[in-house]
């Protein structure tokens, strides 16, 4: 097979192979090779709404497209001033949940869609040959397609290497915004005095919310005086996964009831832990935080099971100002107002 830009394809191979190795380095399964039939099947599938659909099953649920790292689209604008959109999904076989490849959905400025399925590194030579034939064909129609594809894959290779060096933590200081704003993402839930919850971005002046009184250990009602919205940025976000396990050892065995809560906030937001006041980004696994149990209307401790730092894309973040009190409940967790 003759390729006019052979050197570019060779360079792309050198990028793709280590990406496959790295992408699977932290996986518990060894990916089997994708077959040519599966490669062709994946190309017949389309995701109708790339803006909102993150998970699609097809072929009677035997295969899955799962949005890669829950990443938002990548937009690339070249010297011609034309913007292209790239959406990345993992191609997974349900049996064993093995990743057979990575599907690239490439949309040009005319809303024309092109698909490229990057096989996993165990793929046979005939699949790789077919892959290079396909992207070469697209490149004949869509100028510099291979170059842009190479850029996107190289970028993700660097991301996987960076994550690997940080034990899977997404400490993305290159793109994340760290600032003095002490806030929460708008989708975090605020507990109202009525017992209901509302997304933070829907809270308004005059709403009555629940606060925890550290002195008495009881709840109190406070009134919102202002919802502060900060300029949309790609904020660094700290996420806590909290766990409470209730164990009951009986003659039949050990019965465990597990309850989870999650909380997201900018890393500098203050929390209350069993070790005192601490910024959420400095809380470590094993520490305890106070939560609200709406069923029995009492406060109880949850253990920090996992912590991570991430970015959720460009978004505004919010904080609540109240006339009194020093705390409020976000996702059922006691947090400081500031």
158-202 pLDDT, tens digit each: 666 666 665 555 544 445 666 656 689 999 999 999 989 999 999
Span between the terminal Cα atoms of the chain, in Å: 64
Rounded Cα distance between 47 and 325, Å, is 48
Distances (CA, A) of 306 to 1, 72, 286: 51, 24, 8
Supply 33's token pair.
Answer: 């090779």
Contacts of 69 (CB under 8 A, 6+ apart): 159
Q: What is the pLDDT of residues 286-299, one digit of tens each?
A: 899 999 888 888 88
Report, as an integer, the average pLDDT of 107-120.
94
Rounded Cα distance between 42 and 53, Å, is 16
Q: What is the pLDDT of residues 222-268, one digit of tens each?
A: 999 999 998 888 888 899 988 887 776 777 766 767 778 899 999 88
More confident residue, 275 or 321: 321
Does the pLDDT of residue 270 top 60, yes or no? yes
Is residue 91 a contact partner of residue 72, using CB atoms and an 8 Å limit? no
The reported pLDDT for the residue numbered 11 is 45
Report, as an integer, the average pLDDT of 273-282.
87
Report, as an integer, the average pLDDT of 109-127.
93
- Band of the pLDDT at 83, cuts 50, 70, 90? confident
Is residue 93 a contact partner of residue 2, using CB atoms and an 8 Å limit? no
Strand 333-336 to strand 327-330: parallel, antiparallel, or no bridges (unpaired)? antiparallel
b/e per residue 185-209 (b: at least 16 CB within 10 A): bbebbbbbeeeebeebbebeeebeb
Query: DSSP character for 128?
Result: H
Query: What percentage of the chain has pLDDT greater than the value 90?
Result: 39
Q: Is 251 exposed, middle or buried, given 0-12, 13-18 or 19+ CB atoms closer than 10 A?
A: exposed
Supply 221's token pair.
Answer: 């009602």
The reported pLDDT for the residue numbered 201 is 95
- Band of the pLDDT at 152, cuts 50, 70, 90? confident
Does the pLDDT of residue 3 top 60, yes or no? no
Rounded Cα distance between 317 and 331, Å, is 15
Average pLDDT, the chain: 82
Contacts of 59 (CB under 8 A, 6+ apart): 41
Contacts of 137 (CB under 8 A, 6+ apart): none
More confident residue, 325 or 321: 321
């Amino acid at each position: 097979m003759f390729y006019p830009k052979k050197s570019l394809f060779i360079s792309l191979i050198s990028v793709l192979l280590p990406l496959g190795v790295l992408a699977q380095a932290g996986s518990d399964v060894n990916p089997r090779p994708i077959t040519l039939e599966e490669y062709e099947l994946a190309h017949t599938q389309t995701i109708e709404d790339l803006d909102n659909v993150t998970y699609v099953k097809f072929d009677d649920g035997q295969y899955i497209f799962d949005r890669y790292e829950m990443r938002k689209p990548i937009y690339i604008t070249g010297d011609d001033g034309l913007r292209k959109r790239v959406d990345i999904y993992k191609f997974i076989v349900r049996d064993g949940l093995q990743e057979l490849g990575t599907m690239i959905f490439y949309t040009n400025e005319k809303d024309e869609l092109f698909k490229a399925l990057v096989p996993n590194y165990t793929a046979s030579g005939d699949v790789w040959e077919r892959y290079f034939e396909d992207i070469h064909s697209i490149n004949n129609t869509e100028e510099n397609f291979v170059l842009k594809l190479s850029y996107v894959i190289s970028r993700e290779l660097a991301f996987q290497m960076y994550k690997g060096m940080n034990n899977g933590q997404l400490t993305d200081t290159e793109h994340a915004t760290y600032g003095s704003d002490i806030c929460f993402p708008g989708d975090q839930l605020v507990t109202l005095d009525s017992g209901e919850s509302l997304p933070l971005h829907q809270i308004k002046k005059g709403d009555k919310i629940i606060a925890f009184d550290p002195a008495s250990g009881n709840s109190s009602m406070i009134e919102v005086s202002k919802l502060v919205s900060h300029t949309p940025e790609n904020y660094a976000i700290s996420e806590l996964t909290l766990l409470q396990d209730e164990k009951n050892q009986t003659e039949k065995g050990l019965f465990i009831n597990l309850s989870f809560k999650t909380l997201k906030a900018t890393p500098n937001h203050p929390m209350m832990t069993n070790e005192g006041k601490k910024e959420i980004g400095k809380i470590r696994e094993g520490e305890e935080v106070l939560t609200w149990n709406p069923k029995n209307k009492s406060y109880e401790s949850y253990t920090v099971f996992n912590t991570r730092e991430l970015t959720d894309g460009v978004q505004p973040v919010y904080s609540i100002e109240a006339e009194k009190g020093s705390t409020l409940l976000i996702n059922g967790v006691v947090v400081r107002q500031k």
